[in-house]
C-alpha cells in the first residue's frame, strides 16, 4: 500500500471539518486503521476519501467519506471518489455502508442524499459542540 499524503489529507479534512481539526499525528494514526486516499487533478489537490472498514464493534458496517474542496465541486470528482471508496468498502465485505456529514456542510449532505444515502441520526460529539454530525446509510 502506498503512503498517504498526510499533509494533503489533513488540509482537506480541516478545511471541510473545521470543528474537528486533526493534527498530522492524528491523520497518521487514522491511516493505520482506515483506507485513506488523497485526490489530485493535474497535480492539484482536490479532495480525499476515508473508508472505515467493518470491525467487530460495528458488525459489517463500513463508513465511506468523500471530501472535495469547494472550488472543485460539481465537476463529477466527488462521484468518482465516492464510487472508488464504495468499491473499497464492498471489497472489505461491508454489508451496510454509511457516511457522516457535518450539518454545516449542506453541499455534502445534498451529495450524500443524491447518491442514495438516507439520514439515520444527528448527534453532537462533545458537550460543547453546536454543530451536529449527521449519519446516513446507503439504501
Which of the four pLDDT bands, split at 50, 70 and 90, describes residue 3? low
What is the mean predicted confidence (pLDDT) over 62-68?
Answer: 96
CATH (one of 3.40.50.10810, 3.90.1150.170, 3.40.630.30, 3.40.50.300) for 6-138: 3.40.630.30
Q: Domain coordinates of the chain in residue numbers?
A: 6-138
Residues in Cβ contact with 53 at an 8 Å cutoff, skipping those fewer than 6 apart = 33, 34, 35, 62, 89, 92, 94
Q: 64-79 burial, b if ≥16 CB within 10 A, otherwise e?
A: bbbbbbeebeeeebbe
Report yes or no on whether pTM surpasses 0.85.
yes
pLDDT of residue 48: 96
pLDDT surpassing 70 at residue 106: yes
Give the three-class secondary structure for 99: strand
DSSP class of 125: S
Give the sign of the dihedral formed by CA 6, CA 42, CA 88, CA 63.
positive
Amino acid at each position: 500500500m502506498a503512503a498517504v499524503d498526510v499533509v494533503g489529507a489533513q488540509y482537506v479534512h480541516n478545511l471541510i471539518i473545521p470543528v474537528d481539526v486533526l493534527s498530522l499525528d492524528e491523520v497518521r494514526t487514522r491511516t493505520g486503521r482506515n483506507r485513506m486516499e488523497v485526490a489530485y487533478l493535474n497535480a492539484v489537490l482536490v479532495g480525499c476519501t476515508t473508508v472505515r472498514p467493518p470491525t467487530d464493534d460495528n458488525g459489517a458496517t463500513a463508513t465511506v467519506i468523500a471530501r472535495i474542496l469547494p472550488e472543485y465541486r460539481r465537476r463529477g470528482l466527488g462521484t468518482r471518489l465516492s464510487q472508488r471508496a464504495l468499491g473499497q468498502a464492498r471489497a472489505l465485505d461491508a454489508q451496510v455502508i454509511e457516511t457522516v456529514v457535518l450539518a454545516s456542510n449542506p453541499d455534502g449532505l445534498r451529495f450524500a442524499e443524491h447518491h442514495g444515502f438516507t439520514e439515520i441520526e444527528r448527534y453532537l460529539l462533545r458537550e460543547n459542540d453546536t454543530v451536529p454530525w449527521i449519519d446516513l446509510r446507503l439504501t
